[in-house]
Amino acid sequence: MNRPGGSRGGQPEAGSGTLAPGGSGRPDAGQPEAARRAGVGEPGATGGWRRAAGRHLVLLAAYVAAGIAVTWPLVSYPFRGLLPGSRDVSSYVWALWWVARQVSHLGNPWLTTHMAAPAGMQLGFDTLIPLPALLMTPVTLLFGPSASFGLLAILTPGLLCYVTYRAARLWLGRWGAIAAGALFGLSTMVTWQDWFHLNISLGTLFLPMTLEAAVRLRRAPGWPRGIACGLVLGAAVLTNQESAVVATLLAAAVLAPWLLAALVRERGTAARRKLLALLAAAVVAAVVASPQLIAMAQQAAAGGASAGGNALARTYLLYGQGIPAMFAGSPRLHQYHLGALAAGYAYREPLEGVVTFGVVLCAAAVLGLAVTWRRRSSWWLALLWLAGAALALGPTLQIASRQYVPLATRWHGVLISQLLPYSWLVRVPGMSALREADRLALLGLLGAAILAGAGVEWLTRRARQPAGRPALAARAVLALVIIAGLAEAGWSGTGSRPMPTATTRLDAPIAADHSGSVVLDLPFGLRGGIPLVGSRIALQPLVMATADGHPRAISYSSWVPRPTITRMLRHPFYDCLIAVQDGRSCGAARIAAAAADARALRIGWVVDWYSSSRVLSYLRETGFRPDYRVGRVAVWRPGRR
């Protein structure tokens, strides 16, 4: 019988007795066992490469099937011509279409005149997901961007499980790692993002991948593993910049202590080998990420990434999660009429995510830490969990329904706590754009999931022992963990209505017009992140734009570049339209100028999704007339001149 935290069958655990990221004083400590258990190494030792690859493919397929099950009915949406009803989803569909269009025309995907027309905008800081969009280009060109979105959303939870399994195998046995992968990739926190924030779920793939690459580099430093680590970080930048920043922080947490120890304790060849490996990682990451970095630098140089300090600081207050809600039961339990178990959960921004680790994962993680407390790796993973949770609190501390600001200070006119780590993180140069503190909980979720895998592994070993009270108790607890974990897992799109992938009757006349004229959707706005201009736009215009190919006057992007705002508001038509939408009046002279400007803007179609009578009167005054209606949506065209 093994003692808690000990080895199995008298054999050393992978990485046992080592600091989680890199091992003991010897860089190769535990490496042969870790390689064997991760399915790599000599072909003969693992029964052949084909057999090992087959096992991994079977596991990946099982994870994908589990992801489909816990996100049902998402898998049915592509076959029913539906998408999750969200402006963010519309923007991802548009991004998939735009990247495929630019790639097929050898154009620059980080610059567009098909939003905020005719001014156009730079997309260096947008959620363009260029790497996934590039990989999905054949699917997009053959079946459309909505099909690409659906396929990515269907596959991502399973992929998240698998990459977490690979990372967990550095420390855990097969069953513990399988559990860790499932607890991470199928969690409500992750699957909610898969439904509504595809860029976040795709970017989250790189957290376990970074952890695995950095730990492997630390255990066996060399330029091949440095290149692998650089490829992961570079690809993260090309997928989602926010996730790339978090992945870089994770890599730094793994590698910085190791490098510092090497510089202090080692001399000569060993230290040079480690430095060269890190240099290789940095160079490869920079080269791979260079297209995105260049686009970001160009936008920043043009003033398109600037935002007032107060505007940013005010958003920081919106996205912090409180306690004990962060450790409460998943709201998914409501679907099984077990809402009382999730009564402690609440979040002030329910349209931004579900921010809780869940009681099952928390309990399993605490068990995992308790039974492996002798391993330094377990304490490092616990620290990762704690750090992610602490950062997710945001700049103020919310306990239940009350908010506290310990060690309060004013920063850009906003009251924040100097005690909380997030308040300091956003002051680091380059980190101020991390507006959503809640997403940093994903970092903690990774550490907690691997610890929980250790707890499940311990229960599995106890359950396999000969019949007796300890074995029976372990089996009962293991069954409870599995059943309760399944109840908390996943998300089913609760609270949102799907939207159609196509509006053929509405869009057919516009698609038949090949003049390239601008389509104005009402309400009009340049929206998304910050700053916000105009009114909140409708859900479907950007999806419809992928079918008809016309430039849109509206925009929806993570950052609305100030040069774009300036150029758009120079047009009297748009300036006056925003005023009318806000309930302000435009004088006769301004309306006359707006009418002349509307003709110069080449606005060929106005799609009124829902507008006030004041806005419709403004359309008439500026020369537009109703043309046709489909349901509640009216289409206007310029009157005869």
Residue-wise pLDDT tens digits, 179-221: 999 999 999 999 999 999 999 999 999 999 999 999 999 999 9
Tell me what pLDDT residue 31 has. 41
Q: What is the DSSP letter of 86?
A: -
Strand runs labelled E in 18-73: none
Domain with 628 in it: 502-641
Sequence length of the chain is 641
Look at residue 111 and give its three-state secondary structure.
Answer: strand
User: Could you give the count of Cα atoms lying within 13 Å of 1 in the half-sphere of its Cβ?
Assistant: 9
Residue 272 CA: distances (Å) to CA of 140, 222, 227: 46, 10, 16
pLDDT tier for residue 5 given thresholds of 50, 70 and 90: very low
Enumerate residues 6+ apart whose C-beta is below 8 A from 497: 85
Q: What residues pair up with 522 in beta bridges, in sequence order?
A: 608
Q: What 3 state SS string does 502-541 have?
A: CCHHHHHHHHHCCCCCEEEEECCEEEEEECCEECCCCCCH
- Average pLDDT score over residue span 365-371: 96
For strands 603-608 and 518-522, give the pairing.
parallel
In a domain, 632, yes or no: yes
In a domain, 641, yes or no: yes
Q: What is the DSSP letter of 414?
A: E
The answer to whether residues 259 and 278 touch, using CB atoms and an 8 Å cutoff, is: yes
pLDDT tier for residue 26 given thresholds of 50, 70 and 90: very low
In a domain, 346, yes or no: no
In a domain, 518, yes or no: yes
Total domains, the chain: 1
Q: How far is CA 55 from the centre of its chain?
A: 28
Exposed, middle or buried: residue 3 (CB in 10 Å: 0-12, 13-18, 19+)?
exposed
Exposed, middle or buried: residue 25 (CB in 10 Å: 0-12, 13-18, 19+)?
exposed
In a domain, 192, yes or no: no
In a domain, 396, yes or no: no
The answer to whether residues 440 and 421 touch, using CB atoms and an 8 Å cutoff, is: no
Enumerate residues 6+ apart whose C-beta is below 8 A from 570: none
**Cα–Cα distance measured from residue 407 to residue 418, given in angstroms and rounded to the nearest whole number:** 5
* Mean of per-residue pLDDT scores for the chain: 90
For residue 535 the two structure tokens come to 């009114």
Rounded percentage of the chain residues whose pLDDT exceeds 70? 92
The answer to whether residues 167 and 212 touch, using CB atoms and an 8 Å cutoff, is: yes
* DSSP labels, 169-213: TTTS-HHHHHHHHHHHHTSHHHHHHHHH-HHHHHHHTHHHHHHHH
The answer to whether residues 180 and 453 touch, using CB atoms and an 8 Å cutoff, is: yes
pLDDT at 262 over 90: no
pLDDT tier for residue 13 given thresholds of 50, 70 and 90: very low
Sign of the CA dihedral 272, 275, 280, 281? positive
pLDDT tier for residue 640 given thresholds of 50, 70 and 90: low
User: Could you give the count of Cα atoms lying within 13 Å of 231 in the half-sphere of its Cβ?
Assistant: 10
**Cα–Cα distance measured from residue 558 to residue 603, given in angstroms and rounded to the nearest whole number:** 25
The answer to whether residues 618 and 595 touch, using CB atoms and an 8 Å cutoff, is: no
In a domain, 68, yes or no: no
The answer to whether residues 493 and 74 touch, using CB atoms and an 8 Å cutoff, is: yes
For residue 575 the two structure tokens come to 């300036």
Enumerate residues 6+ apart whose C-beta is below 8 A from 408: 415, 416, 417, 418
Tell me what pLDDT residue 2 has. 40
pLDDT tier for residue 37 given thresholds of 50, 70 and 90: very low
pLDDT tier for residue 433 given thresholds of 50, 70 and 90: confident
CA angle, corner 250, sides to 446 and 235, nearest 5? Answer: 95
Tell me what pLDDT residue 358 has. 94
The answer to whether residues 403 and 305 touch, using CB atoms and an 8 Å cutoff, is: no
pTM score: 0.90
3-state helix, strand and coil shares in percent for the chain, rounded to the nearest 5: 60, 10, 30
Q: Which helix (H) or strand (E) holds 226?
A: helix 223-237
For strands 121-122 and 111-112, give the pairing.
antiparallel
Tell me what pLDDT residue 312 has. 81
Backbone dihedral angles phi then psi of residue 463, each to the nearest 5 degrees: -70, -25
Which one, of 381, 357, 399, 376, lies nearest residue 489 by Cα? 357
Which one, of 448, 458, 331, lies nearest residue 387 by Cα? 448
Which one, of 207, 237, 258, 229, lies nearest residue 384 by Cα? 207
pLDDT at 582 over 50: yes
**Cα–Cα distance measured from residue 138 to residue 12, given in angstroms and rounded to the nearest whole number:** 47
Report CA dihedral (636, 547, 292, 563) to the nearest 10 degrees. -10
For residue 271 the two structure tokens come to 């230290």
Exposed, middle or buried: residue 406 (CB in 10 Å: 0-12, 13-18, 19+)?
exposed
Question: Tell me, what amino acid is at 410?
Answer: R
Tell me what pLDDT residue 259 has. 87
In a domain, 515, yes or no: yes
Tell me what pLDDT residue 307 has. 74
Q: How far is CA 35 from the centre of its chain?
A: 30
